[in-house]
Structure 1
Amino acid sequence: MATTFHRDGHSSTPTGSRAPLDLSAAAEFYRHLGWPASLDSAGHRLVVHTGDVLDALIVPARLAEPVAAELATSLMSGPVSTDVDDRWWTFLTEPCRRTSLELPPDLRDAKVRAVPRGGYVVVPHPADSQHWTNRPEQGHVLPPWSAVVAIARKVLAQWH
């Protein structure tokens, strides 16, 4: 059984009368990007499985904003989504090349979390501009895991 890890218990995808068809098409959009996406019909949300094609870091918003800005400045921005309350941001990255997803103590203390391999992360609908701070695009590579971790550490170090 896969480990479950997501930001909150709420769906970050729009729901309503169009949800089933819309979410199925959205899952197909993510699959065309090469992402292992599926529809969690019980939760009416889209999920992307981690560990093979991509990994994910969940970062508190106050740290995530400057990290996203620094990644953009470094020309390494990738898909970033927010939860329904905009308190947590999820950075999608290339798979971590290390055997362990263990984060350094400074990031753990800052409440940064790595989504475990074999887990999943809830993603917004591709058209949900409210919850994608940086939308995924066809042909764009994901930033390296190590770069996102390094930039998050750099931002933290600048705060101290």
Structure 2
Amino acid sequence: MNSLLDWSAPVLTVGDPVEAIGMRAGLGAEVNSMLAMAMLSGPVLAYRGTPERWIFLTAPATSTSNAVLADLVRLGVSLFPMGSLVSLPCTDNLEIARWVNRPLPGRPLPPWQAVVAAVRRTSSVSSGWL
């Protein structure tokens, strides 16, 4: 995976209390829509590239089965390991990084398992993201 770190921009360190899940923008848009319908949307970052990648910031991860992890790998979904650094959008990097959904003060992050479930549900509805 390419590094998303830009040393001129503020960074977020992944780990308790914030996890990060990355995916292609097309899949991300579907997942974001599904989360919004369930009133579970949260902060989402977009990074230019081929393809563009979206990163969902979530509450801490929970344990999951190997079958779920295999589904995520098959779909090209990245689970950022603890300690990963994610560059946040700022005036110095707006040409490569932007907020799809900005964080809202006082609003909790969506549950990690809700984002994972939305990825799996979306992929079962539309096989176009495979």
TM-score (norm 1): 0.67
The residue aligned with 2:80 is 115
Contact 1:94 1:142 in 2 (8 A): yes
How far is 1:84 from its partner? 2.8
SS in structure 1 of the partner of residue 122 of structure 2? helix
Query: What 5-or-longer segments of structure 1 have no aligned partner?
Result: 12-42
Separation of aligned partners in 2, 1:99 and 1:109: 16
Instruction: Report how many residues are paired.
Output: 122
Counterparts in 2 of 1:111 and 1:7: CA distance versus 1, 3 Å: farther
Name the amino acid aligned to 2:72. Answer: L
Separation of aligned partners in 2, 1:7 and 1:89: 14
TM-score (norm 2): 0.82
Query: What 5-or-longer segments of structure 2 have no aligned partner?
Result: none
Aligned-pair Cα RMSD in Å: 2.6
Residue 54 (structure 2) aligned to one of 89, 97, 103: 89
Separation of aligned partners in 2, 1:77 and 1:6: 26
1:135 and 2:102 are equivalent in the alignment: yes
1:78 and 2:42 are equivalent in the alignment: yes
Contact 1:59 1:113 in 2 (8 A): yes
Separation of aligned partners in 1, 2:63 and 2:2: 22
